[in-house]
Copies of this chain bind each other. A is one copy, B any other.
């Protein structure tokens, strides 16, 4: 008998050189969902939730990490507790001839103030989400780390009044 297509098995990747992690089955979905809500949920409880043995849950979670589906487990910390009560978004446009995007990214990524780096389409090249102590620190950040860089053609800073993360 020739091999045949199984409709219940996960499909292979859609495009040829696709780095997408393999599709998640129902159990994986439950585990991922639970860990997204509470990364410290015991393996025990995960197993019970998913209706599998603890050892199986352990293997599943390890596989999810291995496959890159779970990229990490992190505590969400109130920036105010870290003395970073002021958050801002900074649009950054690099010089047209600038081809040192990677170097810029690496340099910016090292700065303590930087929370997110979005590499974006459109007139600007980056949107930086930063968290600092106060307005003075914000100015210092822009002047010292962006204004001083000859590759940076321009910046635009916008204050964040409130930041919500609805999912977790």
Q: Identify which of A1-9, A50-58, A120-128, A145-153 touches chain B.
A: A120-128
Flag whether A16 is at the interface (Cβ < 8 A). no
Contact of A118 among B20, B110, B117, B160 (CB under 8 A): B160
Is A35 a contact of B75 with CB atoms below 8 Å? Answer: yes
Query: Chain A: how many interface residues by the 8 Å CB criterion?
Result: 54
Flag whether A68 is at the interface (Cβ < 8 A). yes
Is B74 a contact of A21 with CB atoms below 8 Å? Answer: no
Flag whether A105 is at the interface (Cβ < 8 A). yes
Q: Identify which of A78-86, A92-100, A136-144 touches chain B.
A: A78-86
Instruction: Assess A36 versus B163: contact at CB under 8 Å? Given A24-B81, A158-B121.
Output: no
CB distance from A63 to the nearest CB of B (A): 12
Is B32 a contact of A81 with CB atoms below 8 Å? Answer: yes
Known: A70-B76, A70-B77, A105-B164. 11 other contacts (CB 8 A): A20-B80, A21-B81, A36-B75, A39-B73, A39-B74, A39-B75, A71-B77, A73-B75, A119-B160, A121-B158, A122-B158
Closest 5 CB pairs of A and B: A35-B75, A109-B166, A39-B73, A69-B81, A121-B159
